[in-house]
A and B are shown apart, each in its own frame.
Chain A
Amino acid sequence: MTPGDEAGRRRGFVARLRTRRSVPRGRLQRRVFAGARLVLALALVGGLYAGLTPHASAEDTPTLSGAAAEGKALYDRSCISCHGENAQGVPGRGPSLLGLGSAAVEFQVTTGRMPLTMQGAQAERKPPVFTDDQARMLGAYIQALGGGPQLPPGNDLHSQGDIAQGGDLFRVNCAACHAFGTGGGALSSGKSAPSLGEATDRQMYAAMLTGPQNMPVFGDNQLSPQEKEDIIAYVQNLKSDQDPGGFGLGKLGPVPEALVIFLVGIVFLVVVSLWIAGKS
């Protein structure tokens, strides 16, 4: 077909439409035809809509377990303003929680980081708003929504661990940020690795599993569950261990030692020398 043919055919079609009827239709006939066209158009649009939109019965209505349902109630009261309906996130306020899993929720909520007081370099640990049970309910709800990593049951995740092995792993994987004495350390631009002083077994496990904030994720293929428990065992041992050498100065290395030698050692001996030289 040449373009000329196509143009001719189109002209023919348009011309046919525009051709005046030789005999005009009657008034009633026009109305009947208009009504029929309207019904046809509505039926077409309605049919298309019905055909193209998902059927009402295909909508997902998850049947939440008891805990998750209670979690949803808590969520809708306290979390929804930033994380949005169905935990899909609100741009500029809070990220989507789908796929995060209960471990992340439990970590963030039981350490008091969530609910967040304000946006900043990072969320700080503070007294938790929810009880542990409520945190688990919230976790169950998020777990039900999108799945994700979960913590093993129980509050004791350290007594099966090997302390010496955990120490080796801690020094290689954790000490670079959390410091040798678990006191925490600075990261760039106001961020920091927190002290592990108050961290519970489940919180440490969850942190390794989910990598909150600036922390890398140590998934089960990087640190096996047993290795995680080894590390927790080492940290809890370190925290329960009394400093054999006296006051530990926060286990912060040579910086506080420098303060002590001047503020205690030199100041004390200068007072002594004032005393001795003054007795002449």
Chain B
Amino acid sequence: MRRRKIDVAALPGAAATQVDDRLTLATPLRKAFNKVFPDHWSFLLGEIALYSFIVLLLTGTFLAFFFDPSMQDVQYNGSFTPLRGVQMSQAYSSSLHLSFDVRGGLFLRQMHHWAALLFMAAIIVHMLRVFFTGAFRKPRELNWIVGILLFWMGFLEGFCGYSLPDDALSGTGLRIASAIVLSIPLVGSWVATSLFGGEFPGDVILDRLYITHVLLVPGAILALITVHLALLVKQMHTQWPGPGRTNRNVIGVRMFPGFAVKTTGFFMMVFATIALLAGVFQINPIWLFGPYRPAVVSAASQPDWYVMFLDGSTRLMPAWEIRFHLAGHAYMIPAVFWPTVVLPGLLTVLPLLYPFLEARFTKDRQHHHLLQRPRDVPLRTGLGAMAVTFYLVLFVSGGNDVIADKFNISLNAMTWAGRIGLLILPPLAYYLAYRISLGLQQHDREVLAHGIETGIIKRAPDGRFYEVHQPLGPVDEHGHSALEYQGWSVPKKMNRVGALVPAIRGFFFPVERAPERELPEAPISPAPDRQEISSH
């Protein structure tokens, strides 16, 4: 009997056929594999957030094996000497155990924390890209809204995680959170006692934060990410204007293999960056803060960076209390209510509405799949610069005690600089961004009309000097080109239009060979033959 020959090369194909016979995956997969993604570095910023979230899920699962959110009082007997014998909650004790007595525990806890910071930072950077390029415009308003909800979900998730270790820093943050909730008029005290199961801190808050942190909010984030990506696939990715790119097509690389390889590589890089941060930089040394006690508040107690702007707004807010009587009862609205409840409320609602507001004011009801350069929409760029400046002033003020101490500035001066800066700098930023946008626009038009400055200065017979311009298109009798601005970058240097030999491609080392070609003559007129001047 002849032994049957197995053709190894045909095995994957055969297996795929077997699968497809049963599941009929080929057609939808072909469609998915052929999906085209436009290529630009700024489109990868959102992916940083996505991949940080995956790292968060992985490391968080590991931490959950060892962390115990119980508020039961125990005595620490682990290997960190300076806390041995100290009374603390089981949650803090297990965090210390996780950090010092679990192999790789501290590294993974640091990875988790850095990944959380990176997640939020990438969301912000991605959001700035979407805003300044007008990617939120119709039909993508819904995805913009989902993105903002993702930010606030990440904010909540981060705060819950920050509160879990039950060291003095998390307890201080939680105490502030309880004060913020208490400051809400009418319902504040009811909400606070419901959250904490009575007076702060109570003995249930960590359990509640824990289940919120590991199940509810991550579930919500996962669902929102799914919607975010599904909408992206459904509505196509936006692209920059450019040769061949219109509002009706997408030019880029296919999902498979091009994009898949790139994005996998990018995931590896994000993972590696987080691991590098975790290995090199110590983050949140909970063992230094000690167990939470209401009397313990350390200097330099700050929230993580994405909450710091609220800390800043609280520091800048003057101590204005509003007292009034209503229906025979005395009420007081504390100062903390405005910077920590009203301000974030505004900061949620305004961005949510922004796409609709802009459409209303510009009367623009079209679908847009091509992005805008920030310079081409000075008003939006100005508003964005204003918002960023407002945020930055609050953010810096959130760390103003550390900045004041390390740079030998008076803390009072920092606070007043923040108060004045919060009012003055955003309009200034608006004005500057607006003017710079107009200037850049004008320069683009100028280059299109007059050509690129070559750097070659000529002297006319009448003694006049002028610079030679390289026109970008056919010129009329005045030397002007009638080129339309296409919404994409205009070459402004001679080597962008081929004056120099094209650079060899390759980031770290050349990935191609230089083509053999004749170098053109340098565009310099030959010098006249010199004659010796003699004085006869």
Could you tell me the distance in whole angstroms from the C-beta of B515 to the nearest C-beta in chain A? 19
By a CB distance below 8 angstroms, the chain B residues around A33 are none
**For A127, what are the chain B residues with a Cβ–Cβ distance below 8 Å?**
none
Q: Which residues of A contact B121 (CB under 8 A)?
A: 261-262, 265-266
Is A188 interfacial (CB-CB < 8 Å)?
A: yes
User: B residues 387-428 with Cβ under 8 Å of A?
Assistant: 395, 399, 401-406, 408-413
A172 contacts the other chain (CB 8 A): yes
Q: How far is the CB of B229 from chain A (nearest CB, A)?
A: 18
- Which A residues between 243 and 265 are near B, CB-CB below 8 angstroms? 243-249, 251-258, 260-262, 264-265
Flag the segment in B66-74, B299-307, B342-350, B446-454 that touches A: B299-307
- Which residue of the partner chain A has the closest CB to B297? A176
The answer to whether A167 touches B297 (Cβ under 8 A) is no
Q: Does A171 contact B (CB under 8 A)?
A: yes
Q: How far is the CA of A180 from the CA of B304 in the complex (A)?
A: 16
Beyond A258-B308, A260-B277, is A171–B290 a contact (Cβ under 8 Å)?
yes
Q: Contact between A264 and B277 (Cβ–Cβ < 8 Å)? A: yes
Total interface residues in chain B, CB < 8 Å: 77
Interface of B is mostly: helix
Q: Is the CB of B117 within 8 A of A261?
A: yes
Are A258's CB and B81's CB within 8 A?
no
Contacts of B274 in A (CB 8 A): 265
Indicate whether B439 reaches chain A with its CB closer than 8 angstroms: no
Nearest chain A residue, comparing its CB with the CB of B290 = A171
Chain B contacts with A in 103-135, Cβ cutoff 8 A:
106, 110, 114, 117-118, 121-122, 125
A257 and B168 in contact (CB under 8 A), knowing A171-B298, A245-B283, A247-B280? no
B280 lies within 8 A of A255 (CB): no
CB neighbors of A among B498-516 (8 A): 507, 511
Neighbouring B residues of A164 by C-beta, 8 Å: 81-86
Q: Does B189 touch A at the CB level, under 8 Å?
A: no
B282 and A269 form a contact (CB under 8 A): no
With A247-B282, A254-B308, A266-B122 in contact, do A185 and B82 touch (Cβ < 8 Å)?
no
Question: Taking CB as reference atom, which chain B residue is nearest A268?
Answer: B273
Question: Which one of A180, A245, A277 lies within 8 Å of B282 (CB-CB)?
Answer: A245
**Chain B's nearest CB lies how many Å from the CB of A271?**
9
Once bound together, how far apart are the Cα atoms of A185 and B399, in whole Å? 11
| A199–chain B nearest beta-carbon distance, Å | 16
Does B411 lie within 8 Å of A265, measured CB to CB?
no
The A interface is mostly helix, strand or loop, or mixed, namely: helix
Taking CB atoms, residues of chain A closer than 8 Å to B298 are 171, 175-176, 179-180, 253
**Highest count of chain B CB atoms <10 Å: which of A246, A265, A280:** A265
Other-chain residue from B100, B281, B284, B299 in contact with A177 (beta carbon distance below 8 A): B299
Are A265 and B277 neighbours in the complex by a CB distance under 8 Å? yes
Tell me how many residue pairs across A and B have CB atoms closer than 8 Å: 214
Given A255-B300, A265-B117, A268-B273, CB of A186 within 8 Å of CB of B405: yes
Q: With the chains together, A82 CA to B216 CA distance in Å?
A: 67
Chain A residues whose C-beta falls within 8 Å of the C-beta of B85 in the assembled complex: 164
Is B289 an interface position by the 8 A CB rule?
yes
How many residues of chain A have a CB within 8 Å of chain B? 61
Q: Which residue of B lies closest to A178 (CB)?
A: B299
Instruction: Across the interface, name the chain B residue whose C-beta is closest to A269.
Output: B48
Within the complex, what minimum Cβ distance (angstroms) separates B469 from chain A?
Answer: 30
| Cα(A34)–Cα(B523), bound, Å | 123
Q: A175-B299, A253-B301, A254-B302 given as contacts; is B86 within 8 A of A167 (CB)?
A: yes
Q: How far in angstroms is the closest Cβ of chain A from B83?
A: 6
Interface pick from A103-111, A148-156, A189-197: A189-197
Q: Say yes or no: is A279 at the interface (Cβ < 8 Å to chain B).
A: yes
Q: How far is the CA of A254 from the CA of B312 in the complex (A)?
A: 13
Determine if A172 and B83 form an interchain contact, defined as CB atoms under 8 angstroms apart.
Answer: no
Instruction: Check A36 for interface membership: any CB of B closer than 8 A.
Output: no
Q: Any chain B CB within 8 A of the CB of A157? A: no
B169 at the binding interface (Cβ < 8 Å): yes
Q: Would you call B253 an interface residue if the criterion is a C-beta within 8 Å of the partner chain's C-beta atoms?
A: yes
- Please state if B507 and A180 are interface contacts (CB–CB under 8 Å): no
A interface footprint on B261-282 (CB within 8 Å = 1, 0 otherwise): 0100110011001100111111
**Known A167-B82, A258-B308: A186·B404 in contact at CB below 8 Å:** yes
Q: Please determine whether A249 and B405 come into contact, CB atoms closer than 8 angstroms.
A: no
User: In the bound complex, do residue B277 and residue A253 qualify as a contact, i.e. CB atoms below 8 Å apart?
Assistant: no
Any B CB within 8 A of the CB of A234: yes
Q: Is A80 an interface residue (CB 8 A)?
A: no
Residues in A whose Cβ lies below 8 Å from that of B281: 245-247, 249, 257, 260, 264
Task: Map CB proximity to A onto B246-260 as digits: 1 under 8 Å, 0 otherwise.
Answer: 000000110000100
Shortest beta-carbon distance from B492 to chain A in Å: 20
Q: How far is the CB of A255 from chain B (nearest CB, A)?
A: 4
Q: What chain A residues lie within 8 Å of B408 (beta carbons)?
A: 190, 192
Residues of A within 8 A of B114 (CB): 261, 265
A175 CA to B48 CA in the complex, in Å? Answer: 37
Query: Counting chain B CB atoms within 10 Å of each CB, which of A121, A188, A248, A280 scores highest?
Result: A280
Q: Which residue of A lies closest to B400 (CB)?
A: A186
With CB as the reference atom, state the residue of chain B lying closest to A237. Answer: B82
CB atoms of B300 and A183 under 8 A apart:
yes
Chain A residues within an 8 Å CB radius of B413: 190
Judge whether A180 and B168 touch: CB under 8 Å. Answer: yes
- Shortest CB-to-CB span from A261 to chain B, Å, is 4
Stretch of B1-9, B35-43, B146-154, B482-490 that contacts chain A: B35-43
A198 close to B (CB within 8 Å): no
13 inter-chain pairs at a CB distance below 8 angstroms, sorted by A residue, are A175-B299, A185-B299, A187-B411, A190-B409, A245-B281, A245-B282, A249-B282, A254-B303, A254-B304, A257-B305, A258-B399, A261-B305, A279-B507
Known: A181-B285, A278-B41. 13 other contacts (CB 8 A): A168-B290, A186-B402, A190-B412, A237-B82, A246-B110, A255-B302, A255-B403, A258-B308, A261-B117, A265-B273, A265-B274, A274-B41, A276-B44
The residues of B with any CB-CB pair to A shorter than 8 Å are: 39-45, 48, 81-86, 99-100, 106, 110, 114, 117-118, 121-122, 125, 168-169, 252-253, 258, 262, 265-266, 269-270, 273-274, 277-285, 288-290, 293, 295-305, 308, 395, 399, 401-406, 408-413, 507, 511
The 9 closest A-B pairs by CB, nearest first: A185-B299, A245-B282, A258-B305, A190-B410, A273-B44, A255-B399, A277-B41, A179-B299, A180-B298
